Structure 1
Amino acid sequence: MSSKYLKLALSVLLMCFFSVNAQLNSLPVPNKQQLAWQKAEFGVVFHYDLHVFDESKYNQATNRISPVADYNIFNPEQLDVEQWVISAKAAGAKFAILTVTHETGFALFQSEVNPYSMKILKWKEGKGDIFRDFTDACRKHGIKPGVYLGIRWNSFFGVHDFIVDGQPNSIMQKKRQAYYNAMVEGMVKEICCNYGPLFEIWFDGGASSPQKGAPDVLPIVKKYQPDCLFYHNDQLADARWGGSENGTVNYPCWSTFPYNFTGSGESAIPGIHKNGFELLKQGDEDGKYWVPAMADSPLRGFNSRHEWFWEPDDEKSIYPLEELMNIYYKSVGRNATLIMGLTPDNTGLIPKEDVQRLKQLGDEIKRRFDFPLATTRGKGKIIELKLTQETSINQLMVQENIALGHRVRKFSIQAYQRGKWQTVNKGSAIGNKYIFLSCKKNILAKKLRLVIDESVAEPDIINFAAYYVNLE
């Protein structure tokens, strides 16, 4: 080969090399906290507040504007936070979050900056600290603790959508707003500094931003809890709401997103809230930021109910096991992290009916996923899975190495049947976990293969598994 053609060939190779590397370098990948959160797959959030102890049903609109007349109604005589955590662990949860403040404004911990906290109670002579009990119980039982803070609404301090009531921009309103913002920032610092490492911090409805007059919480979290998943404000979202509170997301559900923030509800930018929040539900396969989806639902969300807080005589709203598994497949099985809402009652316990259903859920997840017929892993466009003999299969799982980002764009799963490869399933997003359950017809085959039909870089599949699940 002449030196002229050799230089040309070398030039082409270098162009290809730099093109591929540029593509790889631009591919969004999760940070450390996002990766841990997606790998956890399933967590719970415990909602507890003063109104659990009154005799009226929870009404969000009322609770946001009406201070609780007597905070000493808070009196959980059998409080056992460890029982809460054990119940969550039995369901298979890997992390747990406690709602430390919600719309009443009352704080379930010992605060030096918020006078409306556990220090004012007769219960335990004002020395109780439920968040301390909670984080201790989580660590004792191998559950990662997190916190939920409601700062957008506060009926005690008269705060609506982060803004303190009063004549806008009057001296009095400005002073009260400054006091509220400083108090919230102080609470966030207390939470971040006094309770050890936290897995996730969840601001109810987001935390807005100081540019809009709201408390400035992001720098505090980043300084004192740098490894904590931040969810979320107008500046940053380490994760995104999946667009509904029924525990499911659409398919495909990409972890990538065109923005590194999401806003909240009607405050979201048009690109996010249009078409019924479609972007939140599906993500964007070409998005330049890694913002994975959360699918959340209360355990008591059946029979047209939606109970984030305990209500008496409401056991019929507990999801049946079959419905819970459907939620699992349409969240965890679609590359989302599932967070289930649990409701401690006015005695301080998770009700026995809820405990029983959580145990059933954990057992069923193990039954369906702990015993694959065969598994494999590999890189490249085709990955073959061999079984020892021709076998009935009705469930398939694929997992991508998400530390490297979404590399797969389209794939098909094929079974070798009657002397040729037959396509039994097709998809696009894999991400942390993709699950296919065939409810109508079993797949009879001795070998399967995963064919990557389209990718943006070399596919890295860390798990390709086949199962047979008895659905009777």
Structure 2
Amino acid sequence: MMRIRSFIAVTALLLFIQCKNENKIQVALAKPSPKQIEFADWEVGAFIHFGLNVFTGQEHGDGKEPPSKFNPTHLDAEQWVKTAKALGAKYACLTVRHEGGFCLWPSKSTDYTIANSPYKEGKGDITREFVNACRKYDMKVGLYHTSSHDTNAALSWYDGPIGWGKDRDSLVNIAFQDKERFERYKKIQVQQFTELLTNYGPVDYMWSDHWGCKGGEEMWQIITDLAAELQPNMVFMGPETWVPGNESGLVVYPMWNAVNTVDGTKYTRPSANEDDVTVENDYGLLEKEVRKGHPRGKFWRVRECTTHLAFHKGGWFWHPDVTIPRTLSEHIDLYYRTVGLGANTIINLPPDNRGLIPDDIVAAATAFGAAIKARFAKPVAELLEVQTGNEVEISWQEPKEINTVMLMENIANGQKVAKYTLEAFIDGKWQTLKAANHFPIAKPPYNPNPGYETIGHKKIDRVEPVVTNKIRFKCLESVAEPVELRQFKVFNCEPY
């Protein structure tokens, strides 16, 4: 009888373990679409902030400055794209219509366009020049347009001064109490959006600033559906990508690309976990919510860190004697704390009032691109095929000093790793590699010393240098199995 009871107990335990493992394997994880995976692989983008603001000194645009002030005399969209290429960017995004409402194409929706400016005697189309330059130099095309912030269209009736923030928002709220005015506003946004997504061929990316902001839900749902209809292969910021809560080039860590949303649909912003926070206003950013994501969230949103602050001083738009690049070491640090923590980074390269990116910004972009390329050009060892399992080893013939490890998950099957460790084989035994990631500008909720937790699209770990010819990755915790590494590389990088 005892033997039978023991057999039953052991069998029950084995069945329990089997069921537990099966449940873990069968967890339904959010997975990125093929275009989201491709977007994550672009990693670095260039933001081209240019428009009427460059000639007025404004940052957000009050929609009152006349188009007659817009007159770049040496504009060269190819120079913008070549600078983006030098940066190492795979995609570039132009502010074809910023918050003030001034259009960089001859839109039929409004008179507030370059058609009424001195540029090319009103016959210019900078959007087309930019798109053509991108295609010429094999750069993915990105366009910036915000349907919720068009001061000219919303407040043309108002004769007084318009400030950014609460002043503008209160005036817009007053304006939209008139239902007829709001319908006209929506019609303008839909018409502009349709022009951009039908008149310029395939668009790879749309930055939809302030997507899903409070008060514009009705309009954003229309625009989101229109984007999917007109450009189904386009990555649309909002339902497919999201911002990190700052404009300083910081990403929260640990970080999950899967999120839940405010109303459980794709039309709203990521919802907060219990420990998520809203940070202090960073420059003027509306998207201040820091969201870690959720390992079992319903929707996949690639994290993209927008920044001007981390690359140059001054605002998004060029300002004389203010727009000055930061140091190369600061730029490399930016790369590690964004791309190196699993996010994209889109870096601002603002043209001046000539219509050219200034020489010092061009030089800084070129130095950054060259430094990153050189840093990761020659791995000590690499595995480029998908590796499955909780332990993966990589080895090479002669012992060498190493100080950097790059991991990529096979996110096509979801993000799974929650905690891992790295070990080196030294003097006949495995020893833990000590993480040496440190980001001096990061303050809570951003992690100044990220360790071995999430991986996602990519994790670049700086480690204390060791001499070895073999290291291994060990997954300690995962939200589903099997764990899959897409790439595993080892480097000995120069310090910065």
The alignment status of 1:196 with 2:201, answered yes or no, reads: yes
Find the partner of 1:103 among 79, 99, 114.
99
The alignment status of 1:293 with 2:303, answered yes or no, reads: yes
Corresponding position of 1:53: 55
**For 1:278-357, what aligned pairs fall within 5 Å after superposition?**
280-298=290-308, 301-302=311-312, 305-315=313-323, 317-357=324-364
Corresponding position of 1:182: 187
Corresponding position of 2:285: none
Offset of residue 207 of structure 1: 4.8
* Cα distance between partner residues in 2 of 1:15 and 1:449: 27
Offset of residue 178 of structure 1: 1.2
Corresponding position of 1:396: 405
* Cα distance between partner residues in 1 of 2:183 and 2:98: 20
Describe the shift of the 1:253–1:166 C-alpha distance in structure 2 as closer, same or farther (beyond 3 A). Answer: closer
Describe the shift of the 1:143–1:432 C-alpha distance in structure 2 as closer, same or farther (beyond 3 A). Answer: same
- Contact 1:374–1:387, Cα closer than 8 Å, also in 2: yes
Find the partner of 2:456 among 431, 451, 468.
431
- Contact 1:105–1:150, Cα closer than 8 Å, also in 2: no
Partner SS, residue 282 of structure 1: coil
The alignment status of 1:381 with 2:390, answered yes or no, reads: yes
**For 1:227-306, what aligned pairs fall within 5 Å after superposition?**
227-232=233-238, 237-259=239-261, 274-276=277-279, 280-298=290-308, 301-302=311-312, 305-306=313-314
* Cα distance between partner residues in 2 of 1:469 and 1:168: 55
- Contact 1:153–1:161, Cα closer than 8 Å, also in 2: no
Corresponding position of 2:485: 461
Letter in 1 for 2:184: Y
- Contact 2:310–2:331, Cα closer than 8 Å, also in 1: no
* Cα distance between partner residues in 2 of 1:442 and 1:213: 54
Offset of residue 433 of structure 1: 0.6
- Contact 2:24–2:481, Cα closer than 8 Å, also in 1: no
Partner SS, residue 134 of structure 2: helix
Offset of residue 301 of structure 1: 5.0
Corresponding position of 1:218: 224
Describe the shift of the 1:231–1:122 C-alpha distance in structure 2 as closer, same or farther (beyond 3 A). Answer: same
- Contact 1:149–1:204, Cα closer than 8 Å, also in 2: yes
Offset of residue 17 of structure 1: 8.4
The one-character-per-residue Cα deviations of 1:151-203 (angstroms, maximum 9, x if unpaired) are 3333323445598565664xxx3222211110110111111111111122112
Letter in 1 for 2:52: L
- Contact 1:45–1:98, Cα closer than 8 Å, also in 2: yes
* Cα distance between partner residues in 2 of 1:145 and 1:50: 21
Q: Matched residues, percent identical?
A: 31
* Cα distance between partner residues in 1 of 2:272 and 2:268: 7
* Cα distance between partner residues in 1 of 2:154 and 2:332: 41
* Cα distance between partner residues in 2 of 1:404 and 1:205: 30
* Cα distance between partner residues in 1 of 2:235 and 2:368: 26
* Cα distance between partner residues in 2 of 1:462 and 1:273: 29
- Contact 1:200–1:229, Cα closer than 8 Å, also in 2: yes
The one-character-per-residue Cα deviations of 1:81-132 (angstroms, maximum 9, x if unpaired) are 0100000011100011111111221011121222211222232122111111
Describe the shift of the 1:420–1:120 C-alpha distance in structure 2 as closer, same or farther (beyond 3 A). Answer: same
- Contact 1:256–1:286, Cα closer than 8 Å, also in 2: yes
Offset of residue 435 of structure 1: 0.3
Partner SS, residue 305 of structure 2: strand
The one-character-per-residue Cα deviations of 1:441-470 (angstroms, maximum 9, x if unpaired) are 411111111112222111211211111112
**For 1:50-89, what aligned pairs fall within 5 Å after superposition?**
50-54=52-56, 57-60=57-60, 63-64=61-62, 67-68=64-65, 70-89=66-85
Partner SS, residue 457 of structure 1: coil
The one-character-per-residue Cα deviations of 1:225-278 (angstroms, maximum 9, x if unpaired) are 11111222xxxx21111111111212212111122658579xx87979745399
Partner SS, residue 338 of structure 1: strand
- Contact 2:247–2:306, Cα closer than 8 Å, also in 1: yes
Corresponding position of 1:157: 153
* Cα distance between partner residues in 2 of 1:13 and 1:22: 14
Find the partner of 1:361 among 364, 368, 372.
368
Partner SS, residue 304 of structure 2: strand
Partner SS, residue 294 of structure 1: strand
Partner SS, residue 442 of structure 1: strand
Describe the shift of the 1:460–1:167 C-alpha distance in structure 2 as closer, same or farther (beyond 3 A). Answer: closer
Unaligned runs of 5+ in 1: none
- Give the paired residue count: 448
- Contact 2:306–2:347, Cα closer than 8 Å, also in 1: yes
RMSD between superposed Cα atoms in Å: 3.2
- Contact 1:80–1:348, Cα closer than 8 Å, also in 2: yes
Unaligned runs of 5+ in 2: 1-6, 156-167, 281-287, 435-450
Offset of residue 361 of structure 1: 0.5
* Cα distance between partner residues in 2 of 1:189 and 1:227: 15
Letter in 2 for 1:101: R
Describe the shift of the 1:131–1:273 C-alpha distance in structure 2 as closer, same or farther (beyond 3 A). Answer: farther
- Contact 2:39–2:235, Cα closer than 8 Å, also in 1: yes
* Cα distance between partner residues in 1 of 2:73 and 2:379: 45
* Cα distance between partner residues in 2 of 1:186 and 1:59: 25
Letter in 1 for 2:305: A
Describe the shift of the 1:446–1:192 C-alpha distance in structure 2 as closer, same or farther (beyond 3 A). Answer: same
Offset of residue 410 of structure 1: 1.7
* Cα distance between partner residues in 2 of 1:29 and 1:77: 47
* Cα distance between partner residues in 2 of 1:92 and 1:352: 17
Partner SS, residue 152 of structure 2: coil
